[in-house]
Structure 1
Amino acid sequence: MDTIKKLLAAGKFDVVLNQLQERMLSDESEERKDALYYSAVALRYLGRLEEAHQRLDALLDCWSDFGRGHQELGHTMYALGREETALQAYYQALKLNPALYASWDATARIEAKLGNLQQAELNAEQAQFLQKQPKQVVGALNLFHEGKLFKAERICRAYLQRNPHHVEAMRTLALIGAKLDVLNDAEFLLESVLVLAPDYNRARYDYIKVLQRRQKFPQALAQAKLLRSDEPYNPLYKALHANLCSALDNHDEALSLYDELLSDKVGDVAGVYVAKGHLLKTLGDTKGAVACYQQAYQLQPLFGDAFWSLANLKTYRFDESEYQRMQAAVSANETRVEDKIHLNFALGKALEQQEAYDESFSYYRRGNVLKRETSQYKSEVLSQRVDAQVEYFDRDTVARWTHTSAQHRHLTPIFIVGLPRSGSTLVEQILAAHSQVDSTLELPNIPAIAHELNGRQVDRKKPLYPYILDELSAQQVEQLAQRYVDETRVYRSEAPFFTDKMPNNFRHIGLIKRLFPEAKIIDARRDPMDCCWSAYKQLFAEGQEFSYGFDTLADYYRDYLRMMKHWNQVFPGQIYTVFHERLVNDPELQITNLLNHLELEVEQQCFSPHQSDRSVKTASSEQVRQPINTKGIGQWRKFEAHLAPLKKALGDVLSEWAY
């Protein structure tokens, strides 16, 4: 497209249209996207505005998350004299790509014309900020927001080699790192930016978001308070402060901040309603959560997360008017891909409730297809990592380990591992009811340690981790263990046992036992068809990218079984498997056996975990507030007509399954 750009710059718009004619019919997605976009630009310059509008409708119908496409729609609407429509298009462009100078500049001019002088000034400041940045940095920012991460990273790194302390280039590289899940690098870069520019609030906001993703909530809250002290009335910063209070179980303060934001009616009000709804759901106030989610979709009819949040309650039933709202929203051209994903999953749930299983499946499938298109997950990468664990950890290696006396030895962590939707939340709820057990969250700390040990090149043929453990001294091992204890202290009280329910920790049991030889491991296991189907129809907040396809689900389940078989050989008798089907069919016996294995006294409240008033933040929060029951067994059979590919992919796993 470089030639096309040069022709546009030279004003040869007819030549551009001729050259792009065939490319608009291309089977190559990116080529067709660019052809539609640049042809719309050429048509606008030629004054053929209605044709340009039609071209942009075709573009955004297929690529609704293309920021520059919405910006071009804004230019076209403005040229047609439809300023309010143009303003909406520009803001949608900025929501998708805040590095678009022309959109900030245009919204500043239109807002000033409409008399909204404060907003016009803010937008003009954003435009001026971008205008002052080097072209390479703005170019990298644009590529980042368009999902072209590795190209953006190359440009950023090349610029920083020549200008090592350019704070915006450092911030951009940190954003790329965070998007690629290299969170330790992103955190370090943003810390460095704030040393060089302590008043740079944009960077501080990004730093908080990285700390939040790493579940370093106390540090994030301290940084959020700095932002608030500098800009106390900024709704974005107030909402961030509220979210962090919620994460740290400062529920009253969080609710107060949410209510302030809703009263002020500034910022992303619909998003605040959803956040407040999530907190109320966590606290067990389902009625209040429902009211918040409904307010959110009434404010923003295309807000897919509001509808999915209702569906994700598991116990909520949509009425006909809500069903019609979702149908209209999922079909609208202007609906973003992210919202369409949420809407498809919500419609799947709504139709499942109506027992319209064929139509329900079609929406679940569409949602999974759209979600998978945004993912870079590769099953073979996990298989290679499992191979490395199996190769490195054997009984001889474990026998050579030495351990020193450490401060944390009075604590016994209980790691609950397995697949998502395997019944692990019920196991955690049972243990959380015990007087000697503190429950925490799905903590990211063990995967984070593994990630750091593996180094920057996570996809190398032979990873550093776990082999690098040979290079660690006993003191360094103890330092890692103490770090885990320190970082997770905020979630615990004074009980001698505490849970960590990160399911993906099944890959790191060797590391866990290296750090904590006394750790208890609970493997929560469920029928493969029920487990995989339940994961397939669940839209996870983040992670679990393997769950959006039958093939990747089956590969993941198979690697999980292979990994657990190996761990049971290396650590015989040290891993306790809880079969969900046994647990719900005979809870008294199974709970007693579980507590005996953990060397905990049997306490009566563990048999009624639904009566606990603790907050639950997983997708199963409403389900574990009901008495233990067998409703989840065999749910996949309602969709059996569509699940032959999943059965085929699981293959021998099904024939070997027994509980």
Structure 2
Amino acid sequence: MEHIKKLLAQSQFDQALELLQQERDTLSGDAYKESLYYEAVAYRYLNRLEQAAETLSSLLTEWPEYGRAFQELAHTQKAQGKTSEALQSYYQAIRLNPALHASWASAAKLEASRNNADQAERNQQQANFLLRQPKQILAALNLYHEGKYYKAEKICRAFLQRNPHHVEAMRTLANIGAQLDVLNDAEFLLESVLVLEPNYDLAKFDYIKVLQRRQKHSEAYKHAKELFEKEPGNPLYKALFANLSAALDYDEQALTLYDELINEQMNDDIAGIHVAKGHLLKAIGQQQDAIQSYQSACQERPDFGDAYWSLANLKTYKFSDNEIAVMERAAQDSRTHLNDRIHFCFALGKAFEQHGEHSKSFDYYQQGNELKRGTSHFKPDVLAQRIAAQREYFTEQKVKALPEVSVNSNVTPIFIVGLPRAGSTLVEQILASHSAVEGTSELPNIPAIAHSLNGRQVQADTPKYPSVLDELTPEKLMQLGERYLAETEIYRSGALFFTDKMPNNFRHIGLIKTLLPHAKIIDARRNPMDCCFSAYKQLFAEGQEFSYGLDMLAEYYRDYVDLMAHWNKVYPGSIHTVIHEQLVENPEDEIKALFDYLDLPLEPQCLRSHKAERRVKTASSEQVRQPINAKGIGQWQKFEAQLQPLQEALGQSLMEQWDER
């Protein structure tokens, strides 16, 4: 396309059009996309505005997330005198690609013409900020926002080799790392930026977001409070502070901030504020208020897939025919943002499942999973290798040879492990009903320790962990165990036991038993078909990338079963298994056995755990507030035909083992 760009730069628009149309049939993919874009540019400069608009319509039908195309559409609409539509398109362009300085500048002028001076000034400041950046960094920013992360990374790294302390290049590289889930690198880079420029608030904002994703909520809260107090009128800072207040259970503070944001109407994502408020209300058990918040988000932005999925994710909400029609139109509309379309597909899967239309339900679940999988960087072979490394390192001989560690604490963590959607939230609810047990959440601290032991490798061929444990002294191992207890203290308030419900900790039981030998391990297990299908139907807020394909789910479940068998062999008698179906069928005996394992007396309220008043942040929040029941057992059988590939991938041997349990 370089020759086309030169022709346009020389104002040879007719020649550019002629060449583009000659080459059109030979192009595909990104090249075809760019040709349509440049054709629209040429039409606009020739004042053939209707043809420009038609070309852009075709372009955006095929690529609805192409921010630059929305910018060109806005330019065209502005030339047509459609200033309201133009402003809307500029903001859509900015939403998709915040590095488009021309959109910021043009939106600033349009806001000024409407006497919106404050917004005009904010827009112009952002345009000026982008124009001050070196052209390489501006190019990297554009590539980053167009999803071309590796190209953007290459440009940033080359630039930083020549300019090692350029803070915007470091910040951009950090954001690329965060997008690629290399969160430790992103955190390190942003910390370095803030050492060089302590008052760089945009970098601090990004740093807080990374800390938030790493669930370092206490540290993130401290920085978010500083930003908010420095600039209380900034809606982005207020929303971030509200979210972190919610994460740390400062409920009243968070709800007040959310209400202020909604009433002030300053934030450009009011629908997102309604959803965040709904999540908090759901966690604290105010379901009807949560529903109202989610519905307000739907009204605020009808194409906001997350709002509809949040309703579906209550598991108890029944969609009306009108709501289903709205979702179907949005899911099938090529202009709907990909992330919204993914949410709509999962929500529609749930809606049609409730209506008994199982074939249509599965079609939407499948479509949602395929779209989500297409956005993932998950590598099943890397995970399988890391699971194998656990088996190879933690042999019976190695476990006996590792130093004995004794942490300085009278608090006992209870790790509830397994697969997502295996009934672990119910187990935690039962445990947390006991006067000596405190329920926390899915804590990220053990995976973070494992990640730090692996060093700055990301997906190395030969990870350092777990064999790096051989290099650690007993004192260092004790420090790591005490680090876990210190980091999790913010989630506790003094009980003798506390739960950590991160399901993926089953991959780190060797590490847990090395650092915290007094820890209790509960394996929450469920019928393989029910468990895998339930995970397949779930759109997770983050992580669990293995769940977006039946083949990956089956492989992960098999690896889980094999690894748990290994842990039971090398740590005999240390792990208590709770079979969900047995818990449902015979709750009193199973609950008594659970507390016998913990050496705790059974308390009457543990048999009525659904009445416990505590926050629950997982997808099962509404289900565990109902008496124990068999509603979730055998759900997969309604989809037996569609789930034949899953059954085959799990294997006859595994299914027979389950039936013989």
Q: TM-score range by the shorter chain?
A: over 0.9
Partner of 1:642, secondary structure, is: coil
Q: How far 1:61 moved relative to its partner?
A: 2.2
Give the direction of change, closer, same or farther, for the CA distance of 1:148–1:356 in structure 2 (3 Å limit). Answer: same
Structure 1 contact 24–33 (Cα < 8 Å) conserved: no
Q: Is contact 2:7-2:16 (8 Å) kept?
A: yes
- Alpha-carbon offset, residue 19 of structure 1: 4.9
Deviations 1:234-285 (A, max 9, x none): 1111111111111111111111111111221221221111111111111111
What is the TM-score normalised by the length of structure 2?
A: 0.96
Say if 2:44 and 2:52, in contact at 8 Å, map to a contact too.
yes
Give the secondary structure class of the aligned counterpart of 1:641: coil
**One-letter code aligned to 1:440:** T
Counterparts of residues 77-116 of structure 1 (less than 5 Å): 77-116=77-116
Q: How many residue pairs get matched?
A: 658
For 2:345, the equivalent position in structure 1 comes to: 344
For 1:317 and 1:212, the matched residues in 2 are separated by: 32
Q: CA 1:111/1:427 → structure 2, altered by over 3 Å: closer, same or farther?
A: same
Match of 1:276 in 2: 277
**Aligned equivalent of 2:641:** 641
- Counterpart CA distance in 1 for 2:489 and 2:353 is 41
d(CA) in 2 for partners of 1:433, 1:232: 39
Structure 2 alignment gaps of length 5 or more: none
Match of 2:392, as an amino acid? E
- SS of residue in 2 equivalent to 1:617: coil
For residues 473 and 28 of structure 2, the distance between their equivalents in structure 1, rounded to whole angstroms, comes to 53
Deviation at 1:85, TM superposition (A): 1.3
Query: Does residue 580 of structure 1 match 2:580?
Result: yes
Report the CA distance shift for 1:547/1:163 in structure 2 as closer, same or farther (over 3 A).
same
Equivalence for 1:443: 443
Does 1:329 find its partner at 2:330? yes
| Offset of residue 185 of structure 1 | 2.1
Equivalent residue, structure 2, for 1:229 = 229
Report the equivalent of 1:394: 395
Partner of 1:168: 168
The one-letter code matched in structure 2 to 1:186 is A
| Corresponding residue number in structure 2 for 1:372 | 373
Paired residues of 1:23 and 1:31 also in contact (CA < 8 A): no
Work out the CA distance in 2 between the residues paired with 1:185 and 1:246: 26
- Taking a change above 3 Å as real, the CA distance of residues 19 and 498 of structure 1, as seen in their structure-2 partners, is farther
Show CA shifts across 1:64-99 (max 9, x none).
222222222222222222221111111111112111
2:197 — aligned with what? Answer: 197
Flag the 1:5–1:638 CA change in 2: closer, same or farther, 3 A.
Answer: same
8 Å Cα contact 2:405-2:514 kept in structure 1: no
Whole-angstrom distance in 2 between the partners of 1:46 and 1:61: 23
Shift of 1:630: 0.7
- SS, match of residue 555 in structure 2: helix
Show the 5 A alignment for 1:292-371. Answer: 292-371=293-372
Match of 1:406 in 2: 407
The Cα RMSD (Å) is: 1.8
Q: Secondary structure at the match of 1:403?
A: coil
Percent same amino acid at aligned positions?
Answer: 61
- The one-letter amino acid of 1:645's match is P
Q: Structure 1 residues 20 and 398 mapped into 2: Cα distance closer, same or farther (>3 Å)? A: farther
How much has 1:12 moved relative to structure 2? 4.4
2:258 corresponds to 1:258: yes
Asked whether the 8 Å contact 2:407–2:481 carries over to 1, the reply is no
- The equivalent of 1:454 in structure 2 is 454
Given that 1:305 and 1:343 are in contact with CA atoms closer than 8 Å, whether structure 2 keeps it comes out as: yes
Do 2:324 and 2:351's aligned partners in 1 also have CA atoms closer than 8 Å?
yes
Q: Is the 8 A contact 2:405 2:477 kept in 1?
A: no
Residue matched to 1:134: 134
CA distance in 2, matches of 1:624, 1:295: 26
Question: 2:395 and 2:442 mapped to 1: Cα distance?
Answer: 27
Q: Tell me if structure 1 keeps the 8 A contact 2:170–2:193.
A: yes
Provide the rounded CA distance (Å) in 2 between the counterparts of 1:454 and 1:33: 41
Match of 1:627 in 2: 627
Equivalent AA in structure 2 for residue 164 of structure 1: P
Partner of 1:545: 545
Deviation for aligned residue 1:345:
1.1
Counterpart of 1:482 in structure 2 is 482
1:288 equivalent to 2:289? Answer yes
Distance 2:40 2:558 in 1: 48
For 1:49, the equivalent position in structure 2 comes to 49
- Please give the alpha-carbon distance, in whole angstroms, between the structure 1 residues aligned to 2:56 and 2:150: 27
| Deviation digits for residues 513-532 of structure 1 (CA, Å, limit 9, x no counterpart) | 11111111111111111111
Give the whole-Å Cα distance in 2 for the aligned partners of 1:126 and 1:635.
51
Residues 549-575 of structure 1 show CA distances to partners (whole Å, capped at 9, x for unaligned) of 111111111111121122122212211
The 1:634/1:24 distance shift into structure 2, 3 A limit, reads farther
Unaligned 5+ residue runs, structure 1? none
SS in 1 for 2:624: helix
Residues 23 and 32 in structure 1, CA contact (< 8 A), matched pair in contact too? no
- AA aligned to 1:512 is I
TM-aligned CA deviation for residue 312 of structure 1: 0.6
Once the 2 structures are TM-superposed, how far is the Cα of residue 58 of structure 1 from its aligned partner? Answer: 2.5
